[in-house]
Amino acid sequence: MSWKLFLNSLKIWVGALIINSFLIFVYATATENIGAGILVSVFCFIGGAFVTAPLLVIVYHLLKISFRIPYGLQAQLAWFGFTLATIVVALFIGVALWTRIWWEEKDFQLFPVGIFLSIIISVSISFGSLRKLRKSIYEHSLA
Amino acid sequence: MKRERAKLLAIVAGGVLFNLVFWREKIALNTLLYDVFLLLILFSLYPKARRSSTVGWLTLGHLICLAMIVVHNSVISKVGCCITMALLAGFIEYIHRSAWYAGGSVLLNGGFVIASLFESFQFEKTSTPGKRKYGKLILFAIIPLLFSIIFILIYSSANSVFSEVVGKFWKWLGTSITDFLDLISWQRFFFLLAGLYLTGWIILKSRMDFFEKKENKCEDELLRRRKTATEKRNDLLNSISRNLMGKLGKGMLALKNMNTVGLLSLVLLNILLLIVNGIDIAYLWFGFEYGKDVNLYKVIHQGTDMLIISILLAMAILIIFFRGNLNFYRHNKWLKYGSYAWIIQNCILVFSVFLRDYYYISQTGLAYKRIGVLFYLLLVMTGLVTVFWKIYRKKTTYYLFRVNAWSVIILLVGATTVNWDEFIAAYNFRQKDKILMPVDYMLTLSNKAIPLLEQNADVLREQLKKQEQLGFLKDPCEACVVNSLQEKKEAFMNAQSGYSWLSYNLSDASIKRYFSESSKLSSK
């Protein structure tokens, strides 16, 4: 069961990375040029995968908790998506404020919005597989 | 269904109202508008709560805090208003008697706002074929779009005319996106989201009734009952005391042994406290004389801090001894007497701390921390009385915490009714001939004290001179008094120019009136 949970967490994480890279691509292309867009988005995807790998632990545990709260599936997943996005954005802003590297840049102020959207979209896309996972978890607990 | 729709409408309306009344405004009259809206919604969504006397009293306390925001606009009135509002939501939405549990429920409300919101949305869920069709269309479009992007890149590198067309398109897209992003005020957007979240937090009852269930099991009266093996294992205090006592803490005579250990501890602690109290009575109560050789600051600060900790520890010790079956032990008479003596001695200690604070105030005037100590002592006295009552009437620790939480709330509401900055300034100026005024501290008081400080600027300068003569200050900066007041005045007027009628409050209005009158006088 935990293997399925891990796979779903991985799916959400990878999905969020891809969507975020795509959003960065659109923004960088719109403000600079298509070449810069591709370069920045590829860099963000690879760099983001390395930097945010530890977040998988948070995704995994949060998903586990979300299935335990006494709400319907939609509410559980909405809570999961929102809480995950809030935690990740808070971590990002915390690091940015601590290092004081990015915060002055106007483009980077849009970055947390992009991260938030990416996570929410990624969770929404995974809705079907998360529904199946929840069903199997409940059946498993009943058995 | 109607109720759920009403909840959603209320959250949207509350979020918009929050955004309209609080954006770049001070917490003042706008709070009244938003708060009244929340109260109306809460009482109409949860009508049963209207019959509860606890809700009635708490509403009264909350309205007092709310009124004080408009009258004094002090920090404590704002804090009091937030706390009482949160507790009120807890008591209205759940069945609680204790403010601690109600607070816990409200915190859970906050954590699950999104889930509760979506649960309310469920009734609106209509999976029409049209919607499904659009969903499928989006899914079908992803792969063709990706292919198109790749081939656009290839063709634009191979064909210069096509590249120019694509370049123009991207330029147009870029300008449109940047224009759109510039159009949106992200700060305002997030402020709106914060308003929606806050309104949802207050209005929506979460399904997590953890604290409600927990409190349901709590009683005021202590009942004698045998603990199960699991309960004993989970009781941290019980396992610590049993481990400390070794063999004496187990078996048939465990309760008797615990009684003996408790009695011996209380006898020793009473003797120790008797010595401390004896010294305090001789030195502070009757023989205290303030002289230059007495470092009052050291006596007060060090002494008070340690005594505060000792009184809290004393209460904790008594709660530990009388948390369970020792209350029902037939031969606990002397343990109870020891506890009563310990409580009385702690009351004496409270009075000694009060005297220290009183001497400090009479020598150097009022300040926030000195008033804080007085409030703290009042709460400690309530705590000691309730600990006595707990032992005497065999009450539970739940009762103790419940009653004391209410005493804190009453004190908080009471404290909001005073304009402390003005009170401190007025008292210190009234006592100017008897005290060594903390001039630096006086200049840090909030804007509410500006009129008094300005009227008494000469007194502040005289105080600086006096302190220099006595050797407390070297090179006092007399001009700093006027400069500091001028800076305060300018900062206040600058801030006020940015506010609308939504930030209106009586305190600021009276300061503005004072400034306009004084400027008229000076121009004449």
Greater confidence (B305 vs A84) lies with A84
Cα–Cα distance between A139 and B352 in angstroms, integer?
65
Is pLDDT of B154 > 70?
A: yes
Q: Residue B189's pLDDT band (boundaries 50, 70, 90)?
A: confident
Residues in CB range of A24: below 8 A, 6 or more apart: A37, A40, A41, A44, A114
Residue B207 touches partner A, C-beta closer than 8 Å? yes
Cα–Cα distance between B364 and B294 in angstroms, integer?
14
8 Å CB contact of B118 and A79: yes
Residue A33 touches partner B, C-beta closer than 8 Å? yes
Contact B259, B329 (CB under 8 A): yes
What is the per-residue burial (b if ≥16 Cβ within 10 Å, else e) of B465-491?
ebbeeeeebeebeeebbeebbeebbee
Is pLDDT of B124 > 60?
A: no
Domain limits, chain A: 2-142
8 Å CB contact of B114 and A83: yes
ipTM of the complex as predicted: 0.85
In chain A, % of residues over pLDDT 70: 92
Token pair belonging to B317: 């010790």
Residue B473 touches partner A, C-beta closer than 8 Å? no
Q: What integer pLDDT is reported at residue B113 of this predicted model?
A: 92
Sign of CA dihedral A112, A113, A116, A119: negative
In chain B, % of residues over pLDDT 90: 37
Mean pLDDT of chain B: 84
Cα–Cα distance between B502 and B41 in angstroms, integer?
21
Give B247: exposed, middle or buried? Use CB within 10 Å, 0-12, 13-18, 19+.
exposed
Which of these, A25, A95, A97, lies nearest to A55 by C-alpha position?
A95
Cα–Cα distance between A28 and A37 in angstroms, integer?
5
Greater confidence (B190 vs B503) lies with B503
Beta-bridge partners for B395:
B221
Shortest CA distance from B135: residue in chain A: A125
In chain A, % of residues over pLDDT 90: 34
Chain A residue numbers with beta carbons less than 8 Å from the beta carbon of B207 are 69-71
Reported as a single tens digit per residue, the pLDDT across B192-235 is 999 999 999 999 999 888 999 999 998 888 887 777 777 777 77
Shortest CA distance from B163: residue in chain A: A34
Chain A residue numbers with beta carbons less than 8 Å from the beta carbon of B153 are 34, 38
Greater confidence (B456 vs B325) lies with B456
Within B122-185, residue ranges assigned H as helices are 129-158, 160-183
How many beta-carbon contacts under 8 Å exist across A and B? 61
Q: Residue B504's pLDDT band (boundaries 50, 70, 90)?
A: very high
8 Å CB contact of A83 and B177: no
Cα-based torsion angle of the residue sequence B298, B301, B306, B311 in order, rounded to the nearest 10 degrees: 140
Q: Residue B523's pLDDT band (boundaries 50, 70, 90)?
A: low
Residue found under tokens 């006027």: B482
Long-range contacts of A58-66 (CB under 8 A, 24+ apart): A58/A84, A58/A87, A58/A88, A59/A9, A59/A12, A59/A13, A59/A84, A60/A5, A60/A6, A60/A9, A62/A87, A63/A5, A63/A8, A63/A9, A63/A12, A63/A130, A64/A5
By Cβ distance, the residue of A27, A34, A71 closest to B115 is A71
Residue A113 touches partner B, C-beta closer than 8 Å? yes
CA of A139 to nearest chain B CA: how many angstroms apart? 22
Residues in CB range of B411: below 8 A, 6 or more apart: B375, B378, B379
Residue B328 touches partner A, C-beta closer than 8 Å? no
Cα–Cα distance between B132 and B377 in angstroms, integer?
66
Cα–Cα distance between B204 and B115 in angstroms, integer?
10
Residue B436 touches partner A, C-beta closer than 8 Å? no
Reported as a single tens digit per residue, the pLDDT across B48-87 is 998 899 999 999 999 999 999 999 999 999 999 999 999 9
Is pLDDT of B407 > 80?
A: yes
> Which SS3 state, helix, strand or coil, does residue B395 take?
strand
Q: Residue B485's pLDDT band (boundaries 50, 70, 90)?
A: confident
State the distance between the two ends of chain A, measured CA to CA, in whole angstroms. Answer: 13
Residue B117 touches partner A, C-beta closer than 8 Å? yes
Q: What integer pLDDT is reported at residue B245 of this predicted model?
A: 66
Is pLDDT of B284 > 70?
A: yes
Residue found under tokens 């501890």: B265
Shortest CA distance from B189: residue in chain A: A113
Within A100-143, residue ranges assigned H as helices are 106-125, 127-142
